[in-house]
Structure 1
């Protein structure tokens, strides 16, 4: 599958998955972050995490001063 077909929504995953490299587990958490050097203070980017990788991804963002909030992920709201 090409990047262009993914962006067009063709043959995409049935459910959102964890953002950790190589992980295909279903998303359970939404990690909200922004980079204050390039984003306005109110902008929030989102990484998704499974239960196993939530802490790792949150620590990664926190160490770089990017993490803002972690919330339960509800795929119905997306």
Structure 2
């Protein structure tokens, strides 16, 4: 995630998981539970039709996208 906000799998988590890989399963299960309960959801700032892939990539490269950019059929 850019420009502030919550990073669920940020650097401290990555360091801890590297030291103890068993943590990964437990943490991922908790994150998936939160997602299924609607407690967390990805932020989607841009949506493009598949035909506009070039425009979507340009928006990413220019830093105009925060969160996710979705291409749809």
- TM-score under structure 1 length normalisation: 0.29
Q: Which has more strand, going by share of residues? A: 1
Q: Which has more helix, going by share of residues? A: 2
Larger of the two Rg values belongs to structure: 2
